[in-house]
Amino acid sequence: MDADAILAGLDEQQRQAATTLGGPVAILAGAGTGKTRAITHRIAYAVATGEHAEHASLALTFTSRAAGEMRTRLARLGAGGVQARTFHAAALAQLSHFWPRITGSGMPQLLAQKASTVADAAAQLRLRLPTAQLRDAAGEIEWRKSQAMTMEDYGVQARIRPMPTGIDPEAMLDLHMAYERVKDERRQLDFEDVLLATAGMLEREPVAADEVRARYRHFTVDEFQDVSPMQQRVLDAWLGDRRDVCVVGDPSQTIYSFAGADAASLSRFVHDHPDAEVVRLERSYRSTGAIVGAANRLMRGREALTLHAASQEPGPEPALAAHGNDSAEAAAIAAACRAQVDRGANPGDIAILTRFHAQSGLLEQALASVGLSSTVRGSRRFFEIPVVQRAVLMLRSAPPDGRPVFQAVTDIVMGLGYRAEPPATHGEERAQWDALHALVTLAEETDGTDLAGFARELQRRAATEHEPTVAAVTIATIHAAKGLEWQHVHVCGLAEGLLPVSHATSLAEIDEERRLLYVAITRAQRTLSLTWARSSGHAVRQPSRFLAELGTRTATARGGR
């Protein structure tokens, strides 16, 4: 495609991004500002003008879906020869190519998942860990590797990080070492080893490094705020002493710190490259002025980008509604969604965003009760969660004993590991607690039934969830919603202990929760409602501290076309 045609249709900021070539470049791109459009046009423009060689360009992102979208757009712009891959896909291709040449043997087997190997390592140490703790231990291993930590470094960190329940720091460090031994004995590599081995190969093998650097000379890194220290090490190895790299991202959308991301990575890049060209994309094509204003208020004074709505129509202000309890909140949101559909909205243009997957159960049932199908994005539906299925089975088989439903349900789920207070950690252990807590809360809010009736009600809810989900309202966690958008968005559970989550106590953790809400708000195109419940079962809640900063008015949740 002609270079001038590639620039046609870009706004002034996007055009600046597309034409800023060579040397280190940082594109700070706010939510809805056309980030992917700007960087694909930049790559295509560089190829069309001869500044970049098509087959020497590598675009890196974090999901296969995003890489596929980038390849499609580049092909339409006449730059189909540019490689667009995830970090791991690019590293694996190189490792597979060089491993036999360097070692004289075939590539080790790649582990599909860690849990079974972690279980074998735990057995060697005579540690008895339930499934949730095994998965959380696997998550700790992933975190350690993403941070490019030595075992000695991790040993220090383990003493100040919350560990999965029942595992002390010394035992966790022993488990990490045992896991690595088991894996090495079986000649296996895990997902993170691919990056570690690629970086080590390029750092120690000049022949491999020279060949890779001769092949790729121009780098674009999308979602740079999500780059972990291990990924940064691989990128540095790819670059060598060259500086033709463009990083793109938004520090306000850093919501994967638990996976090694760092909100300061973009500012650190600019600090490390004082001559870097910095381009800001702040014109939002996604959201109305009212929604953009709320997002800006939330992030004010935090070195965030200041968004400006491209649309001249301000749109309705975000509405805030408080409800008596979780069930009432879910019912009100479902009624608002029903009203939006009745006014002509497509159900597929509506999303309900939650902090935890366990919040989806009440929402699914509430939507079904008003005749709306739902789809839960990026996870199993609530009644498909194994611990929930076990709890329902135990409730169905429990003999009647005259106890209040709430007490009977609580006693049963405590046998599955539930405790009154949530675990001071995230991951599988917290997810299972949230799922069981949702059942306890439902029991607390259920009137006029016995245990058998409550079990039948759960069965009815489970059956309702399996309706067809054509033209369905989306229910998604905020993490699963990143990168997506809907005409109408309802953000629920905006209470202390949910958002921000109870285990967020440090300033850094609270900032992460703030960025989560920012991501949720900026998914909305036309209308945004924010809701919270004054109680959850017997527990009294307070509104999220973030609501006061948003300046939203208290109102009944409203919809719109």
Q: Which position has the token pair 């690629």?
A: 198
Handedness of CA 427, 432, 438, 441 (dihedral sign): negative
Looking only at Cα atoms, what is the longest distance across the chain?
A: 80
Strand pairing of 539-540 and 524-536?
Answer: antiparallel
Edge-first strand order for the sheet with 218-221 is 83-86, 57-61, 218-221, 245-249, 25-29, 277-281
Q: d(Cα 489, Cα 559) in Å, to the nearest integer?
A: 9
Count Cβ atoms below 10 Å from residue 204 Cβ, excluding itself: 11
- Write out the binding residues: 29-36
Look at residues 201, 6, 29 and name the one whose alpha carbon lies nearest to residue 102. Answer: 201
Known binding positions for ATP = 29-36
CB–CB of 412/394 below 8 Å? Answer: yes
Tokens, residue 156: 């220090």
Q: What is the DSSP string of 29-51?
A: E-TTS-HHHHHHHHHHHHHHTTS
Q: Measured on CA atoms in the order 518, 524, 529, 534, is the torsion positive or negative?
A: negative
Rounded to an integer, what distance in angstroms lies between the CA atom of residue 18 and that of residue 422?
48
Instruction: Please tell me what DSSP assigns to residue 33.
Output: S
Q: Residue 350 to residues 38, 357, 398, 544, 552: CA-CA distances in angstroms?
A: 27, 17, 39, 23, 20
Sign, CA torsion 477/482/486/492: positive
Please give the DSSP secondary-structure letter assigned to residue 109.
E
Phi, psi dihedrals of residue 233, rounded to the nearest 5°: -65, -40
**How far, in Å, CA of 177 to CA of 497, rounded?**
35
DSSP state of 497: B
Which residue carries 């490390």 as its tokens? Answer: 272
Residue type (1 letter), 63? T
CA–CA dist 449, 193 (Å, integer): 53
Judged by DSSP in three states, 303 sits in: coil
Q: Look up residue 353 and give its two tokens.
A: 């965003």
Give 3-state DSSP helix, strand, coil % of the chain, rounded to 5: 50, 15, 35
